[in-house]
Every structure is written in C-alpha cells, then in structure tokens.
Chains A and B, each alone.
Chain A
Amino acid sequence: DGGITQSPKYLFRKEGQNVTLSCEQNLNHDAMYWYRQDPGQGLRLIYYSQIVNDFQKGDIAEGYSVSREKKESFPLTVTSAQKNPTAFYLCASRRGPGWEQYFGPGTRLTVT
C-alpha cells in the first residue's frame, strides 16, 4: 500500500529535550512538507523539501530542523529552542507541480 507514515502517533517530552518526528513515504514523491496545527488554527508550514539534500524554511521554522538524506524520508527535529512545541504535526508529500499534497496521519507532541 502506498502512503505516508508518521511515527509515533503520540509523543510526550520534557521541556529542554530535543525530539525527532519521523515521516516516511513510498509514493515516490519528490516534494515533502512539514506543517504544524494548533487548536482552532489552520496548518502552518515549518519546512519543505523539493529534492534530496535540499530544503527550505517555511513560515515558522525557528526552533525546528530537518534533513532530507533519502527521497522517502523527511524527519523533523523539534529543538529545545522552540518556545511552544506542543502541537499536532503533519507531514505531507506531493507528486509534482500541479498536484495536490497528500498528508500523513500526524504526530501529536506534548511537551511539559
């Protein structure tokens, strides 16, 4: 089955700890994206990548980092510099220009 997987589904961390969220796709999509969703708000773009070994900051990249070493994988690290990391994180991928983005099931991160 083709699709996007994110793990874990729920993640709990203490303040001051870095945490890495996984995103894997087997759709052979070139472009991948990370969004953050807070209650009552739309999705906000954190980082995006169009090809392997290249990525760009989105609208709210501060306190986050990514890597794109493989086409299938686009992990997101939430660092201790992110002031308000508790949120729902969604990964997406896109086949190419003119195509819609497909979303993974998301990871809900809680930092206390």
Chain B
Amino acid sequence: EDKVVQSPLSLVVHEGDTVTLNCSYEVTNFRSLLWYKQEKKAPTFLFMLTSSGIEKKSGRLSSILDKKELFSILNITATQTGDSAVYLCAVKTTDSWGKLQFGAGTQVVVTP
C-alpha cells in the first residue's frame, strides 16, 4: 500500500528561525513529489520535484528530493508569521490520471 509520512506533525517556532519539514514515501511507480501550503482553505502549490538532488527555490522556501532514500525536505528560512500554515506533501505515481497520495501534513506556527 502506498504511504506518505510527514514529520513532525506540528511545530512552533519564533520569527526568524529556520524550519525543516520532512516527507518520506513508499509508493510503487513514483513520478513526482509535490509540496503545498494550506492556510485556511485551498492548498496552494509550492514545488514539484521529479529529479533527485536538484534544489528548487522560491524566495525563503526551498526543497530537495532524494529518490534513493525516498524522502524530501522543505526548508523555510527567516520565518515570518505569514508562514504559519499546514504544509502538505503529496506523491504522484506514473498512472495517467494524476492521482496524488497525500501525507497528513505538518502544522507550522510562527510566533512573533
């Protein structure tokens, strides 16, 4: 059975801290791994990772994939209160329907 596990489940940090979120997976026919940010309602897309070792970066957020060890990390540097959200990891397999298998998410709270 396909599995996506995120850790930690939640964390609280102070503004300015760096946060590292983990996502490990066990799926057959892996195609790509996606990160989403969910504040109140709709998850918003952050990154899609397909190749190992290539860092994707957007402002203070970055992510990398390790297909040998079957995990990805999402880093947030110089955190701000606006980074408070649930961060979701999802894995897409090679089936043509584009189904995503989601992890339970990591709740990040950034305090002033």
The interface of chain A, by Cβ under 8 A from chain B, is 4, 31, 33, 35, 40-45, 48, 50, 56, 58, 90, 94, 97, 99-106
Contacts and interface: CB of A to CB of B under 8 A. Distances in A.
Contacts of B45: 100-102
Contact of A90 (B4, B43, B98): B43
Interface in B81-107: 88, 90, 96-100, 102-105
Interface of B: 4, 6, 9, 34, 36, 41-45, 48, 88, 90, 96-100, 102-105
Given A42-B88, A103-B42, A103-B43, A50 B96 contact: yes
Most buried by A among B9, B42, B88, B90: B42
Contacts of A94: 98
Contact of B98 (A35, A44, A101, A104): A101
| Interface pairs A-B: 4 shortest CB-CB | A42-B102, A103-B42, A43-B102, A105-B41
B99 A48 contact: yes
A44 B41 CA distance: 15
Contacts of B103: 42
Contact of A105 (B4, B42, B97): B42
8 contacts: A40-B104, A41-B104, A42-B90, A43-B88, A45-B100, A48-B98, A94-B98, A103-B44
A42 B41 contact: no
A99 B102 CA distance: 16
